[in-house]
Amino acid sequence: MSESANETPRRFKKVAARIFHRIVELAARLLFSIIYYGSNEKVPPINNILLLESASSLAFKIRTKKVSSVEVVESFIARIKEVNPIINSMVDNRFAAALEEAKSADELIASGQKSETVLAKEKPFLGVPFTTKECLQSEGLSFSAGLYKRRAIKGTRDADAVACMKKAGAILLGVTNVSELAMWWESHNYVHGRSRNPYNASRIVGGSSGGEGAVLAAGASPIGIGSDIGGSIRMPCFFNGIFGHKPSKFIVSNEGQFPSPSDEDHASFLGLGPMGRYASDLLPILRVVADKNASKLKLDSPVDMKKVKVFYAEDDGGSSFISPVDPDIKASLRNVITYLEKAHGIKAQKVSLKPLSMSGPIWLARMKSRSGSRFAQELSNNEGNLNIAWELLKWLLCMSHHTLIALFTVVMEGFGVKYGSPKHQYLVEQSKQLQMQLTDMLGDDGVFLYPTHPTPAPFHNEPLIKPFNFAYAGIFNIMGFPATHIPLGLGSEGLPIGIQAVGTYGNDHLTIAMAVELEKAFGGWVPPSVTV
């Protein structure tokens, strides 16, 4: 039989799978719409103008005595107490210690021992509060990573990125909710419960940095640190309408993240980075958390937007098991392309990159380990292997302390592509081809604009019906490239939408510059509600 004859049934199967998946998605959306009918609570309005400031602005005002650190910290603590009963994002705090550190910061500034210029250089975030996700170790705070067996564990030291922020003068308020073992894109676990979206409490906040995304969007923290191995910074930023940056690989230390990557390949996929409401905060935070590796980037290089090459794609080319891109997201991307041409004369080029349609399988294949299944061991806190059959039975009887998706992940590990098999080798080769295509296309002066996620925030549990949608973000972790999520306002459902900007290795300054530019043009973060 000829190759073309073989191709016809393959195409038929692909189209049939796509149609079936779409029908299932639409049926699930109808069901969840009925379940959550009328459940559209949002956080109370922001009524304190300090809560609307960027971290960089707050740092300047604290250094120049226009406002005290104590006043700033007290304002954000009050906001956390106001919104957390609704969004359940903050899961452990150090409010008393934070206030003492704020007093010390104010005393240092009042003493005049160091000038404002020196303080700006040595402690750029002096007196400014921040938060971080719970699976990044923070001394004295919960460090369970959403795993019930670790529910009593507290951090004994600070993760490197957290320590860098403290060294820069920032004041840690507390830690925020994650998905179980930070391996799913809804933040829900049996230690701290489920986090809810500040724009609509019936919708997800994303994962695994979902609690972080929610607390920032609600105006309850000015900046935060997240981690991203499959979109875990960018998806929560997308669902919550804020900015987030996954750095180039190995720039920010992974030390203190749990679970830790199993090998060097997986370590290269994981990136710790900044999250915040304002694009202007991304670069200074990245400079701090990158520490000595900041010199490997071009963070001080000015970016002339007129000289930036721009490429874009509106979707992945048609994956059978990934949702179609929402029309609002496509429209927002087109608006960006139009703006860049009118404002800077940029002739953006629309491209089609075939491996993008295999983003989900590529990510799953690259996450395979030579040693085989690991997730069952991690669910037992690396103290043996989880008995998956027994745990599934317990879950059916409402007796399990594990989320259903975590148990499904263990099951699927045994059925997925085998490490070293021909299929695995093919997908690894496809990922390398995509990396070369992007590298050749973008060079050191190009940016690729692409949806961060295909749909606005789904209802709670709805991701179970569309598990592979994370692939829009996750594929760039495999490349080790920098990627910045850029919010572009609210869509027709009143939920945040946006896109991501991707660059080649070491060109983080380009993707962040694009975020700064588009924030000016389209407004960036839109508070859930404001009365000031």
Task: Kindly tell me the burial class for residue 100, based on how many C-beta atoms sit within 10 Å of its own C-beta (0-12, 13-18, 19 or more).
Answer: middle
Q: Which of 1-15, 37-51, 106-120, 130-144 has the lowest mean pLDDT?
A: 1-15
Tens of pLDDT along 36-62? 998 889 999 999 999 999 999 999 999
CA distance 307 to 88: 44
Tens of pLDDT along 57-112? 999 999 999 999 999 999 999 999 999 999 999 999 999 999 999 999 999 999 99
* pLDDT reading at 15 higher than 80: yes
H helices present in 292-447, as ranges: 327-344, 359-366, 375-379, 388-396, 404-415, 422-442
> pLDDT tier at 1 (50, 70, 90 boundaries)?
very low
> pLDDT tier at 4 (50, 70, 90 boundaries)?
low
Give the full edge-to-edge strand order of the sheet including 483-490: 90-93, 171-176, 129-133, 223-228, 271-276, 243-246, 483-490, 496-502, 446-451, 309-312, 349-350
Terminal Cα-to-Cα distance of the chain (whole angstroms)? 71
CB–CB of 226/89 below 8 Å?
no
* pLDDT reading at 532 higher than 80: no
CATH topology of domain 53-292+305-365+420-522: Amidase signature (AS) enzymes (3.90.1300)
Among 56, 208, 227, 268, the active-site one is 208
CA distance 456 to 459: 10
Tens of pLDDT along 163-180? 999 999 999 999 999 999
Helix/strand/coil (H, E, C) string of 377-393?
HHHCCCCCCCCHHHHHH
What residues have CB less than 8 Å from 529, skipping those under 6 apart? Answer: 42, 43, 44, 45, 46
pLDDT at 456: 98
H helices present in 218-356, as ranges: 234-240, 264-269, 282-290, 327-344
Tens of pLDDT along 272-303? 999 999 999 999 999 999 999 999 999 999 99
Among 54, 57, 232, 359, the active-site one is 232
Active site residue 262: no
pLDDT at 291: 98
Among 61, 123, 133, 466, the active-site one is 133
CA distance 222 to 439: 34
Average pLDDT over residues 323-336: 98
pLDDT at 7: 67
The amino acid sitting at 338 is T
H helices present in 138-220, as ranges: 160-167, 210-217
Active site residue 260: no
* pLDDT reading at 2 higher than 70: no
Q: Which of 10-14, 29-33, 82-86 has the lowest mean pLDDT?
A: 10-14
**252 closest CA partner among 157, 165, 187, 174:** 165
Tens of pLDDT along 179-224? 999 999 999 999 999 999 999 999 999 999 999 999 999 999 999 9
pLDDT at 373: 60
Average pLDDT over residues 443-463: 98
Active site residue 342: no
